[in-house]
Amino acid sequence: MENKLIVSLSPHVHSGDSIQKNMYGVLIALIPAFIVSLVFYGLGALVVTATSVIACLFFEWAIAKFLLKKESTTICDGSAVITGVLLAFNLPSNLPIWIIVIGALFAIGVGKMSFGGLGNNPFNPALAGRVFLLLSFPVQMTTWPQVGQLASYVDVETAATPLAIMKGVIKGAPGMSLDQLPDSLSLFLGNNGGCLGEVSAAALLLGLVYMLWKKIISWHIPVSIILTVFVFAGIMHLVDPTKYVAPWIHLISGGLLLGAVFMATDYVTSPMSKKGMLIFGVCIGVLTMVIRIKGAYPEGMSFAILIMNAFTPLINMYCKPKRFGEVAKKK
C-alpha cells in the first residue's frame, strides 16, 4: 500500500510548538487586560469572567461527551478557556449570569462544536456569542457601568462609553459633544466605560508585544487593521474635526485593539498567507470604520471580523502560494 501524506485541519503549527502551548501563550498575553478589568470593575469583572470560562468549559465537555459521543474531550487544550475569557472581555461587567451562560452556550455549541470543534469553525466563537447576545439582549448588552464600583455587580451606576459619545456627535444628538470624551491618557490606561477587556489600550498592547515576542502571532493582521483605521479616521478628522475625533482616539477606544490583537488573529478563522492576512486586516479596518461612522451601532469591530471570517476561504484561494515544480505559463 502506498504511503499517503495526510494533512489535518488548521491550525497548523511547527518548530516544536503545539496547539496547547500557543493557546496558553495567548492566555498569558490576556493577563494584563484581566488585571486592569479587576482594578476598574472589581467584583463584576471577576464574576463575569469566571462564569463565562466555567460555562464554556462545561458546554464543550458536555457536547463532546453526550452529543458527539467522543471518548476524549478537548477542554484541556486551552481553546475553550480562551473562548470564555474573550467572550467575557466583550461583555459589560454587570451582565446577569444567566445571559452570560446563554452566550457561552451559543459560542461553544453553535459557534464551535456544531462545526466539529477546534479547527472546523468558520467564525470566531467568542465573537459569535457576543453578537448573538447583542442582538438578543440589546438593553443589557449596552448598559455600561461606571468604573470604580469595585464591590458592586448588578446594582451599579451607568454612563455612556466613548464610542457612544462619538456616535451621538456624528448623528447630531442633542447635548452630545466631543468635549465629553475622557482625556487620551484615561482612554489609554483604561479609566473609562466599556466592555471588560477593551478598556485599557496599554494592557492590550502589552499582550500584543508578548505574542509577537513569542511568535504566537505575526504582525500582519493587527498592524494592517491599526494602520487602516488610523488612515481612515485621519481622513475623516481632516474633513471635519468638530464632528470626527482624531485617529488615535479611535485606536484606543472601544474594542478595536482587543479585536485586532486577540480575535482577528485567531488561527482557524484568519487567512494562512501573509498577503491574505494583509488583505484581511485592511478589510476589517475599513468595515470597522464604516460601521462606526455610518452604522446603527457605535462599535463595528465584532461585525467586521465576523464578516471577514466568512471571506477567509476565498482569500486563501486567491492568495494560494505557487506550487513547487509548477511551470510558469508563457505570456
Residue 256 lies inside a defined structural domain of this protein: no
The confidence score (pLDDT) of residue 74 equals: 75
Residue 182 lies inside a defined structural domain of this protein: no
Upper half-sphere CA count for residue 12 (Cβ side, 13 Å): 7
Residue 159 lies inside a defined structural domain of this protein: no
Is the CB of residue 88 less than 8 Å from the CB of residue 32? Answer: no
Q: Cell 502589552 appears where?
A: 206
The confidence score (pLDDT) of residue 9 equals: 56
Distances 256 to 121, 153, 286, 305 between C-alpha atoms, Å: 22, 25, 12, 10
Residue 109 lies inside a defined structural domain of this protein: yes
The confidence score (pLDDT) of residue 142 equals: 93
Residue 55 lies inside a defined structural domain of this protein: yes
The confidence score (pLDDT) of residue 69 equals: 83
Backbone CA torsion sign across 118, 127, 189, 201: positive
Number of domains in the chain: 1
The confidence score (pLDDT) of residue 198 equals: 87
Full 3-state SS string of 20-68: HHHHHHHHHHHHHHHHHHHHHHCHHHHHHHHHHHHHHHHHHHHHHHHHC
Phi (first) and psi of residue 304, to 5 degrees: -65, -45
Q: Consecutive sets of 10 residues in the chain, 331 residues long: mean pLDDT of each?
A: 55 63 95 95 94 97 89 81 97 96 97 90 96 96 87 76 93 88 92 88 97 96 98 97 95 96 96 96 98 93 98 93 61 53
State pTM to two decimals: 0.91
Burial of 184 (0-12, 13-18, 19+ CB in 10 A): middle
| All three cell numbers of 273 | 498567507
Distance CA 86, CA 81 (A): 9
Distance CA 300, CA 285 (A): 9
The confidence score (pLDDT) of residue 307 equals: 98
Domain that holds residue 63: 19-141
Distance CA 43, CA 169 (A): 33
Residue 235, number of CB atoms within 10 A of its CB: 12
Q: What is the pLDDT of residues 117-167, one digit of tens each?
A: 888 999 999 999 999 999 999 999 999 998 877 877 777 778 889 999 999
Residue 42 lies inside a defined structural domain of this protein: yes
The confidence score (pLDDT) of residue 279 equals: 98
Residue 241 lies inside a defined structural domain of this protein: no
Distance of CA 314 to the CA centre of its chain: 21
The confidence score (pLDDT) of residue 17 equals: 64
The confidence score (pLDDT) of residue 68 equals: 87
Residue 35 lies inside a defined structural domain of this protein: yes
